[in-house]
Each structure stands twice: as C-alpha cells, then as structure tokens.
Amino acid sequence: MRQAGRCWWLFLSEILTRMGFAAMEVDQSLYIFCNGMDTIAIWIHVDDGVVASNSPSAVADFKRQLCAEVDIKWHDTICQIVGLEWAFGEGEVAIAQRRLTKSILKAYPRPIVKSNCPLPVLPTPGMTVEGETLEPTPFRSVIGSLAYLVSGSLPDLAFAVNYLARHSMAPTKTHWCILDHVVGYLLMTQHHQLVMRPGKVSLNLWSDTGWGGDLERSQTGFMLKLGDAPILWSSKWQGVVALSTCAAEYVALLDSTQHLVQAISQLECLTQFFDKTIFCDNQAAVRVLIDNLLRKHMRYLGRAFFFVNDAIPGYPVLVRGWVTVRVFGGVLSFGHHIDATTKYFVLEKTQL
C-alpha cells in the first residue's frame, strides 16, 4: 500500500507519454503536449487534474484517448481542486477558500476580535513573550489551517501566520490574543478573493526584507505576479544572519529569484514572449545584483547566495528599484501597511 501512489503515478505517466506529453523537468506534475499551433497543458495532483489548451479540438481528442485508457470524471469547468474554489465571470477568474474559512471561524475556540489589519501593534517581533505556556494543540490546529489558507489565497496573512507559527510549540496568553486579532481580520475579509483577468503576459517579482526588526534573523517577503494577479508569495525567516540592510535585501532576492526562474521555465513552455521584472527597494542590493565586482563586500554569505547574479544573465530580466512599499513586500516582511506612492529610481544597468 505504501507504493500505491507511486504505482499510480507511473501508470498515468506511461499513458500520457504514449499520447505525446512530456513532463517538465522543473515540475514533474505538469505535462505539456505540442502539435503545431496546438498546445495542451495538464497539471496532475494525485488523481485530480486540470487541462488547459488553446485548441478545443485538441482537448476533445485528448479526452477521447484518455477515456479509452482509464475511467474518468470530466468537468468542462473547474469548481474546486486542492481546496481552492474557482468562480468564472465575464472576463475574469476568481479564486477563494470560503469553505475552509467558514470552518476556521466556526471552530475557533475563543471570542473573535474584529479587525481591519492582520496584526495589532506589536513590540519588537523577535522579542520573547514571557508568560505561562498554554496547551499548544488547539493553537497549532488553528495555525495549521491558517497556513493552508495563506498558501492558497491569502497573501496578506503570510507575515502574521509565519510570526505566530514560530511560537506554536509554547504559546502564551499574549500569542492567543494576537491570534484572536488575526482570526478577526479573517472574519472581516472572508468574502475577499484573488481575481485574474486577461491581459499582457508578464512576470513581476516584488522582493523585500525586514532587517533589524528581529533580534535573530531578518524576515524575507516576496510576491510573484502574473500580469496583475499574484500567483506566489512567501514570508519567512532568512537562513543566514545579514550584517547590513543591503545583505538582507540581497538574501531576499536570492530566495525570491529561485521561484522566478522556476516560473519562467514553466511559462516558456506555453509562450516565449513575455516581460520579466524584479522590483527591489534597496539601491545597494540592486547594484550588487547587476555588478559582480561588488559581491566581495558580502563574501561571508557564501557562494550559494550569489545564485541570483548567475541567474540574471541567463534570462532577459529587467531589474527595477522601488523606494517605498505599500502592499506587496511590506505586508509580507514587516507586517504593516505603508500608505505612500511608489517611486522608482534609475538603474545603472539592465541585463537584456
């Protein structure tokens, strides 16, 4: 029984290979089929999948061949997959997780504090909160459910959930009060959703860090957007201690650029012409990124952290700097909003 999942994957992979599909090297769950101008992309998750194509006739032919091999349930539109609920409107697609959200709100064991901000005013994030340790199981249960929400459709809660998850082994009354605030924000925004609309195909990466806001390590926050729609985001501790704001921003660029390169590899299977842009709000980090001679000032980071310098020349990526943070990286790395107009500074060099 332990090998059942692997046996199913090998069986399905063999069928798709015979049909002319090829699994992507960077993502073995994504299969691509190309025949002239017809392209089919299939994403597989265990025994569920999503089929996308620019040719209805190619999809009909694929469906006929697949039905001859296995018994399948075919739906012309996506309603729900891996907990994500899809809604199709006029010229847009909306993604939400309302069922899980309602389940969290209904099962929450404490009074909910309604809030329009993900976090209350906190002391230094890295400050250890003293107090009696409470039973961790209910706390971890709520944090785990919130973490799944964050990974699917709630980037604005990424920092808050990541911060509380660090204390999930020994939560105190203070941590529970902060969690009340987070769940209250979820209550106020339960009808929000991610909306995707057709437009120019482009990949925009927003990277930021909160250096000095923690006594141990800096916080990395990034968001990757396809056109105007966020498709990937993260907020987490950095894996190394940075000695300056420049180094902290550069480490954040390393973490985020790896995801950008993977997204480029996936998207290039479907279209060859799209813009790729990296936004960073630290001019010193941008200079290090585009000039290898400046890396000597951060030798202590190790060779692995200079992946971003080696990756940029291999892709036509435009690197831009931004001075102020409003929603994107600031929410993920600092945990608060800054109402300001975004301004850009001129770069010394652009690698094309």
279-309 tens-digit pLDDT: 888 888 888 777 765 555 666 565 555 556 6
Q: What are the residues facing 96 on neighbouring strands?
A: 85
- Can you name the CATH fold of 199-345? Nucleotidyltransferase; domain 5 (3.30.420)
* Domain chopping of the chain, boundaries: 4-76, 96-188, 199-345
238-253 tens-digit pLDDT: 888 877 888 888 888 8
Q: How far apart are CA 294 and CA 181, in angstroms?
A: 43
Residue 340: CB atoms within 10 A of its CB come to 11
In 3D, which of 54, 57, 51 has the Cα closest to residue 74? 51
Q: How far apart are CA 264 and CA 29, in angstroms?
A: 16
Residue 142 has a pLDDT of 94
- Can you name the CATH fold of 4-76? TATA-Binding Protein (3.30.310)
133-167 tens-digit pLDDT: 888 899 999 999 999 999 989 999 998 898 899 88
Q: At what angle do helices 158-165 and 173-188 cross, to 10 degrees?
A: 160
Task: Assess whether the region 4-76 and the region 199-345 belong to the same CATH fold.
Answer: no
